[in-house]
Amino acid sequence: MNTILTAYILDLIWGDPQWLPHPVKAIGKLIDTGEDFLRYHIKNLRLGGIILTAAITLGIYLVTHFALGFLTGYGWLKWIVPSLLIYFCFSLRSLAQAADKVFYELNRGNLSAARERLSHMVGRDTQTLDEPGIIRACVESIAENTVDGFISPLFYAIIGGAPLALAYKAINTLDSMIAYKSAHYKEFGWAAARLDDIANYIPARLLYGLLPIAAGTDKAATVWHIMQRDADKHPSPNSGIPEAGFAAALAIQLGGMSSYQGQASDKPLLGGAETQPEAVHIKQALRLMYRLSIWAIILSVLLLIIF
pLDDT more than 70, % of the chain: 99
266: which strand partners?
Answer: 257
For residue 107, pLDDT over 70 is answered with: yes
Q: How far apart are CA 268 and CA 43, in angstroms?
A: 37
* DSSP bridge partners of 263: 260
pLDDT of residue 256: 87
What's the whole-number average pLDDT of the chain? Answer: 93
The model carries a pTM of 0.94
Q: What does the pLDDT look like over 149-181, one tens digit per residue?
A: 999 999 999 999 999 999 999 999 999 999 887
- The yes-or-no verdict on residue 262 having pLDDT over 70 is no
pLDDT value of position 165: 98
**Is 75's pLDDT higher than 80?**
no
pLDDT, position 70 = 86
d(CA 51, CA 174): 12
Inform me whether the pLDDT recorded for 18 exceeds 80: no
- Is the pLDDT confidence value at 205 over 90? yes
Average pLDDT estimate for 83-87:
95
- Tens of pLDDT, residues 230-244: 999 999 999 999 999
Please compute the mean of the pLDDT values over residues 279-299 and round it to a whole number: 97
- Domains of the chain by residue range: 2-306
What SS3 state is found at 257? strand
Cβ of 81: how many Cβ atoms within 10 Å? 18
